[in-house]
């Protein structure tokens, strides 16, 4: 069978359908809407090595997905504060799917061999994923606060101010805890009025409140669903961290990171942190 023929021996019509619009002299195109000229010209290689393109695109795409995660988490946080948990669930589900994309991206980057990376690593200077402010904002939003990282952004006053504001805001977990208190579950007052810039510390009253939710699912179905959505996000955030660590180890071993961190050792220590700790510890108590 010739390439231009179908199974019924009728030739395929390769001409445009008559209704397809082709005159864009005064109208917006697909590329205009997405600003593709700007996006596709932003891969400015610092070397002549073939694989640097992959390295840049992986990180740029990851930053775009992080932007969407922050968009969803911000809206979900607002919904929880307005006692509209149902609307937040869709946003959390989307975040979870995006996290899956980010996790898989490490598989693509792992095709970069140590010898390949060494061909352009010195061109990065001190730039490093450690400096990703969107990743820091995600951590802040999920409750992992660290005011010391703000020093990295001191040379960008507007960004530093944005990060400082985010550091001072209640996290999405703080919003969830407050919602349990609104629903009449006893929560230690120090969890509801604390210094939001400090890392969240596990509290017995919060664990007991979640235990009540899990032991009375029918009564607290929406809070139960909220908890499980948060667990999904926390679990995949840890998976992303783990895949990040193993990919870095595969490519640079135990070398110091370009940004000055201890590299793999720093990433391994980050795995010791758990988002939403009571949602994990309660499982032992059930």
Known binding-site residue numbers for substrate: 55-59, 117, 121, 258
Known binding-site residue numbers: 55-59, 117, 121, 244, 258
Distance CA 95, CA 101 (A): 10
Contact 92, 173 (CB under 8 A): no
| Closest among 57, 210, 77 to 138, alpha carbons compared | 77
Known binding-site residue numbers for heme: 244
Joined tokens for residue 223: 């809070």
């Amino acid at each position: 069978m010739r390439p231009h023929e179908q199974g019924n021996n009728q030739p395929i019509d390769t001409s445009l359908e008559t209704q397809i619009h082709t005159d864009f002299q005064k109208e917006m195109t697909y590329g205009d809407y997405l600003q593709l000229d700007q996006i596709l010209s932003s891969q400015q290689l610092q070397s002549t090595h073939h694989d640097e393109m992959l390295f840049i695109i992986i990180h740029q795409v990851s930053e775009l997905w992080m932007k969407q995660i922050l968009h969803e988490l911000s809206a979900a946080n607002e919904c929880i504060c307005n006692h509209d948990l149902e609307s937040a669930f869709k946003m959390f589900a989307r975040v979870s799917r995006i996290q899956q994309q980010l996790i898989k991206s490490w598989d693509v980057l792992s095709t970069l061999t140590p010898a390949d990376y060494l061909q352009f690593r010195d061109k990065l200077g001190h730039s490093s994923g450690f400096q990703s402010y969107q990743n820091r904002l995600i951590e802040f939003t999920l409750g992992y606060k660290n005011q010391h990282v703000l020093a990295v952004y001191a040379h960008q006053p507007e960004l530093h101010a944005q990060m400082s504001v985010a550091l001072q805001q209640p996290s999405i977990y703080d919003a969830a805890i407050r919602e349990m208190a609104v629903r009449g579950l006893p929560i230690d007052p120090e969890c509801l009025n604390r210094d939001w810039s400090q890392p969240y510390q596990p509290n017995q009253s919060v664990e007991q409140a979640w235990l009540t939710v899990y032991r009375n699912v029918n009564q607290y179905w929406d809070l139960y669903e909220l908890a499980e959505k948060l667990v999904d996000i926390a679990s995949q955030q840890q998976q992303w961290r783990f895949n990040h660590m193993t990919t870095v180890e595969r490519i640079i071993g135990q070398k110091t990171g370009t940004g000055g961190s201890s590299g793999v050792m720093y990433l391994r220590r980050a795995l010791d942190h758990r988002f939403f700790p009571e949602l994990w510890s309660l499982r032992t108590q059930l």
